[in-house]
């Protein structure tokens, strides 16, 4: 007899990534008075950006720090870079929230 699925989720559950700390500043916004659309960046995406682009670790080293495979880190990094580029070029607010992570 086939197994029943509960909910709409397909595939594996999103694994927790290890992060060093949650950023102190969680909202970055253009210096304007008007309301701007918000782009949400996950905590683990910020950690991937920090390790690779700020700390100059290789993707292999950063993946080891976060306790994930290189492909998972690459997906998080790609997603974060796309969101940041969109926010910067279109004047959107960046809000850091949520995700699947644990503190080291």
Mind listing the pLDDT tens digit for each residue in 54-92?
Answer: 999 999 999 999 999 999 999 999 999 999 999 999 999
Instruction: Give the 3-state DSSP-derived string for the chain, with helices as H, strands as E and coil as C.
Output: CCCCCCCCCCCCCCCCEEECCCCCCCEECCCCCCCCCEEEECHHHHHHHHHHHHCCCCHHHHHHHHCCCHHHHHHHHHHHHHHHHHHHHHCCEEEECCCCEEEC
Cβ neighbours, 10 Å, residue 6 = 6
Residue 2 pLDDT level (bands cut at 50, 70, 90): low
Class of the CATH-defined domain 34-99: mainly alpha
Confidence (pTM): 0.84
Mean pLDDT, rounded, of the chain: 90
- Report how far residue 81's alpha carbon sits from residue 72's, in angstroms, rounded to the nearest whole number: 14
- Report how far residue 103's alpha carbon sits from residue 18's, in angstroms, rounded to the nearest whole number: 6
Domain ranges of the chain: 34-99
Structure tokens at 79: 């997603």
The whole-number pLDDT of residue 8 equals 67
Structure tokens at 13: 């559950």
């Amino acid at each position: 007899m086939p197994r029943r699925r509960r909910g709409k989720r397909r595939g594996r559950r999103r694994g927790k990534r290890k992060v060093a700390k949650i950023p102190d500043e969680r909202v970055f916004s253009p210096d304007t008075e008007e309301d701007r659309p918000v782009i949400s960046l996950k905590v683990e995406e910020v950690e991937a950006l920090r390790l690779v682009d700020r700390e100059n670790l290789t993707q292999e080293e950063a993946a080891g720090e976060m306790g994930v495979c290189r492909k998972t880190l690459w997906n998080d990094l790609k997603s974060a870079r796309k969101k940041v580029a969109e926010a910067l070029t279109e004047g959107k607010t960046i809000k850091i929230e949520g995700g699947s992570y644990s503190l080291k």
